[in-house]
Structure 1
Amino acid sequence: MASYLPQAKDLILQFSSWKVIHIKRSENKSVDALSKLVSTNFEHFAKDIYIEVLGRPSIPQHQVLIMQTDVESWMTPILAYLTSGVLLEGQAAARKIRHKALNYKIQYGVLYRRSFLCPFLRCVDVEDANYLIREIHEGICGFHADPRMVMAKLMNVGYYWPGMHMDAVQKIRKCDLCQHHAPNTLRPKNELVPVTSTWPFQKWAIDIMGPFPEAPGRVKFLILAIDYFTKWVEAKPFASITVASIKKFLFEFIICRFGIS
């Protein structure tokens, strides 16, 4: 229908005036019956019914020429070695290509990579790789998956190129919808640094929390202490935070930890 639209617009320009009339479904039975003739067997028709079969569309067909340029990619050295035995200059580079070529195979002019868990994977260049990532991530059947799932789907459908995971990460980071609707992560931006301790009470910490709504006894503060070696935790409520209350809490914490009576 998109091909017929420009031709319809050209025909409209030849009329001085025109208007669009909506025909109800009840008044359009004859046209509806004609549209169903495509899926009907012509042998069962009566002899007084004349049918014209159009063998080709009434609009001119545009010829599309596929232009393919010889652009070098990561597959070029491997294809050159497998087809004609040409290696790169330099002993180290030639040895590297010769070692890589053991995992590849050419079939009908297409480069494939051998795989242990699935059939041969078709190798693609950078342009095709970007299209595949976009199609799987945000295409018709895409659901904005993470890079790991996108890479797994690419290998399941039979495609491969070096650095698949990193290319998927860089491409998905630029997705506008993922940046707006992705869940907020609560993980810290930097790596956690573990706090180690060699013996009890070499390192310990204390923290004060509150004020909270008053509880029975008019307590509304909470003092916590932890020993990093044994992970011993003590917590006690207080009505107010003073130096005397902190000292009392620490004294009870040490007594309870070491069992001093």
Structure 2
Amino acid sequence: MQKDIENNTYKAIAYCSRTLTISERKWAPVQIELGAIIFSLRQFRPFIYMAEIELHTDHKPLAYLLKKADASPNLARWLIELQNYNIKIVHIAGKENLLADALSRLQNQPEEEQTELEDIAEFPVCFTLPIKDGLINEHYASVLTLRKENENYAIDIKQEQENDMEAADYIKFIKTGELPEDISPNDQEKFVLNAENLRIIGDILCHKLPNLKPRIFVPSSLRALIFDSFHSSQLGGGHMNLKKTLKKCRKYYWPRMHADILTWTRNCITCQLRHSPNPPYRAEMQMVPVNTLFAKVGLDLAGPFPLTQNGNKHVMNIICWFTKYVISVPVPDTKAMTLARAFLNNCYLKYGGCVELVTDNATAFTSEFFKDFCSMLYINKSYATPHWSQGNSVTERSFRTFHNILSKYISKDQPDFDEFLDCACFCYNTSIHTSTGETPFFLMFGRDPIFCVDQILDPSVYSPVAFTDISEFKQRLITSLRCAWEAADEANKQAQLRAKTQYDKLVRNPTVTVGDRVLLRKLCRENRNF
């Protein structure tokens, strides 16, 4: 520690020194040099705090460290601690740094056990942080009453509290017991309750709770600065959520802190641009009426999967929304012609046409070729909402079941998934569907399937029924199918109603008025950069 006597000459008036620990010896030179500065500032803090100090170092990188936009975590925390002091770092030549250099070259004494320098210190009381224009947003920019004389602000907490009307009222009440003249009778009790936990410690108004450390009362002119330091700043913010930001800000105190932090966090433009609303906005679920075979058919793709010996990499599922009957087809690629041929051969030519075909917005389905293909077959083509799987939820959900089935039969590297695809499809179609209460196979063909085990145990159960009159058989079949379809339709409606009731519990309709800022979410990014 040195004092300027006259004519820029210096004289040592105090020393502090220690050896490095084993782990500290492995640090980078700039970290060791900065650690030495932090150690000395902590030692001499009672003497130099709140004073203008000039620090001389022969390590030139330290002179530029404060100007760097990024730093390692340890250095960043120490740089924050430096803001505690009104300090100026000056580089001098090594030959001029005689006093400190002499200390480092003294003969070593027997080493004592040293404590490693901590890299976490309390956040500074006196801030010296660069402030950007437009700190939070236009609405709250007025809370910054500091004058921008240079790139940094040096803040006198005591003076700011005296200039703040709210803090001054509390100081006056603590000293004299007088209430503010303009306070209403309804607010007097609340004012007195808040003042019970306020103390004047070292001429600074603080909030003190039993068994807890005093917290500085932040005047209104500095509250936005606190929020910016703990929310927006790269040196301590990170644009964390409300809970984490509030936890940091609680190192200090001001009335209605939670409400202010909540408002500022919600109004942070950077967070709005990056994060989705939580909870998300959602409208009420709309039920889709379907009560006829192949009135509405969904089509979707899954993959790519490992290439099979048959040259297939994708799975195309075609599902009737009413019966939930699935047609699963392995395909080698996702070209429009390949998908159109697979749909024609496996669905249209086997089960007839459909009224409406629902797909996502994949390139193959939005191509002119596929549109012309649907027009040729008199099929109404519709598309699900982009990036919203519930628009074609019946088809999307079938893939989840198929994946569960196939994962239990195919090998680990999946080179033969297409060999088991028909088996998985048959297992799915012959199982009870929770939405209809029937098997898709029965609703499609009007009969239950015949399994191998049935033929083994009781072949007579599935013996052909003799009908002398073909029209009688047809009439019975139509009657039984109509009853099954009506029951399935009712079960479908009940299942949709249950899903709607559950979904609508979290309905949150946006309230937008003229003049509100509305953000357009871009779901498709041109690159993978942050």
With the length of structure 2 as denominator, give the TM-score of the two structures. 0.28
Q: What is the match of residue 145 of structure 1?
A: 240
| Among 483, 486, 494, the residue aligned to 1:247 | 486
Matches for 1:101-116 after TM superposition, within 5 Å: 101-115=195-209
Cα offset for 1:150? 0.9
Q: What is the match of residue 211 of structure 1?
A: 298
| Among 154, 174, 178, the residue aligned to 1:82 | 174
Taking structure 1 as reference, are residues 149 and 107 closer, same or farther at Cα in structure 2, changes over 3 Å only?
A: same
In the alignment, the residues of structure 2 paired with residue 36 and residue 171 of structure 1 have an alpha-carbon distance, to the nearest angstrom, of: 52
In the alignment, the residues of structure 2 paired with residue 74 and residue 247 of structure 1 have an alpha-carbon distance, to the nearest angstrom, of: 72
Taking structure 1 as reference, are residues 98 and 170 closer, same or farther at Cα in structure 2, changes over 3 Å only?
A: closer
| Among 155, 159, 170, the residue aligned to 2:263 | 170
In the alignment, the residues of structure 2 paired with residue 234 and residue 43 of structure 1 have an alpha-carbon distance, to the nearest angstrom, of: 81
Matches for 1:28-67 after TM superposition, within 5 Å: 34-35=93-94, 38=97, 40-41=101-102
Q: Which runs of 5+ in 2 are unaligned?
A: 1-59, 61-91, 106-152, 291-295, 300-316, 319-325, 328-345, 358-393, 396-432, 445-480, 494-530
Letter of the structure 2 residue corresponding to residue 159 of structure 1: Y
Are 2:229 and 1:135 equivalent residues in the alignment? yes
In the alignment, the residues of structure 2 paired with residue 191 and residue 162 of structure 1 have an alpha-carbon distance, to the nearest angstrom, of: 37
65-74 vs 122-131, greater mean Cα deviation: 65-74
- Please state whether the residue corresponding to 1:142 is helix, strand or coil: coil
Q: How many pairs are equivalent?
A: 181
- By relative contact order (CA 8 Å, sep 6+), the higher-ranking structure is 2
In the alignment, the residues of structure 1 paired with residue 283 and residue 253 of structure 2 have an alpha-carbon distance, to the nearest angstrom, of: 32
- Please state whether the residue corresponding to 1:105 is helix, strand or coil: strand
Q: Which runs of 5+ in 1 are unaligned?
A: 2-32, 45-63, 194-204, 224-231, 255-261
Cα offset for 1:106? 1.5
Are 2:188 and 1:98 equivalent residues in the alignment? no
Taking structure 1 as reference, are residues 78 and 43 closer, same or farther at Cα in structure 2, changes over 3 Å only?
A: closer
In the alignment, the residues of structure 1 paired with residue 104 and residue 487 of structure 2 have an alpha-carbon distance, to the nearest angstrom, of: 103
In the alignment, the residues of structure 2 paired with residue 191 and residue 248 of structure 1 have an alpha-carbon distance, to the nearest angstrom, of: 29
Cα offset for 1:162? 1.5
Letter of the structure 1 residue corresponding to residue 435 of structure 2: E
| Among 221, 234, 242, the residue aligned to 2:435 | 234
Taking structure 1 as reference, are residues 252 and 180 closer, same or farther at Cα in structure 2, changes over 3 Å only?
A: closer
Taking structure 1 as reference, are residues 78 and 246 closer, same or farther at Cα in structure 2, changes over 3 Å only?
A: farther
Cα offset for 1:188? 3.8
- CA deviations on 1:118-152 (whole Å, 9 max, x unpaired) are 42221111121110110111222321111221110
Cα offset for 1:101? 1.9
Q: What is the match of residue 253 of structure 2?
A: 160
Cα offset for 1:177? 2.9
| Conservation of the 8 A alpha-carbon contact between 1:147 and 1:165 | no
- Please state whether the residue corresponding to 1:160 is helix, strand or coil: coil
Taking structure 1 as reference, are residues 185 and 86 closer, same or farther at Cα in structure 2, changes over 3 Å only?
A: closer
- Please state whether the residue corresponding to 2:245 is helix, strand or coil: helix
Cα offset for 1:117? 7.1
- CA deviations on 1:43-88 (whole Å, 9 max, x unpaired) are 97xxxxxxxxxxxxxxxxxxx9988475343223221111111123
- Please state whether the residue corresponding to 1:74 is helix, strand or coil: helix
| Conservation of the 8 A alpha-carbon contact between 1:77 and 1:97 | no
Cα offset for 1:233? 4.7
In the alignment, the residues of structure 1 paired with residue 208 and residue 266 of structure 2 have an alpha-carbon distance, to the nearest angstrom, of: 30
In the alignment, the residues of structure 2 paired with residue 207 and residue 165 of structure 1 have an alpha-carbon distance, to the nearest angstrom, of: 48
In the alignment, the residues of structure 1 paired with residue 154 and residue 490 of structure 2 have an alpha-carbon distance, to the nearest angstrom, of: 87
Letter of the structure 1 residue corresponding to residue 176 of structure 2: S
With the length of structure 1 as denominator, give the TM-score of the two structures. 0.51
- Identical columns (%): 16
- CA deviations on 1:94-127 (whole Å, 9 max, x unpaired) are 4443333222212122222233574222111112
Taking structure 1 as reference, are residues 94 and 114 closer, same or farther at Cα in structure 2, changes over 3 Å only?
A: same
- Give the RMSD, CA atoms, in angstroms: 4.6
Taking structure 1 as reference, are residues 34 and 178 closer, same or farther at Cα in structure 2, changes over 3 Å only?
A: same
Taking structure 1 as reference, are residues 108 and 136 closer, same or farther at Cα in structure 2, changes over 3 Å only?
A: same
Taking structure 1 as reference, are residues 246 and 122 closer, same or farther at Cα in structure 2, changes over 3 Å only?
A: farther
Letter of the structure 2 residue corresponding to residue 100 of structure 1: N
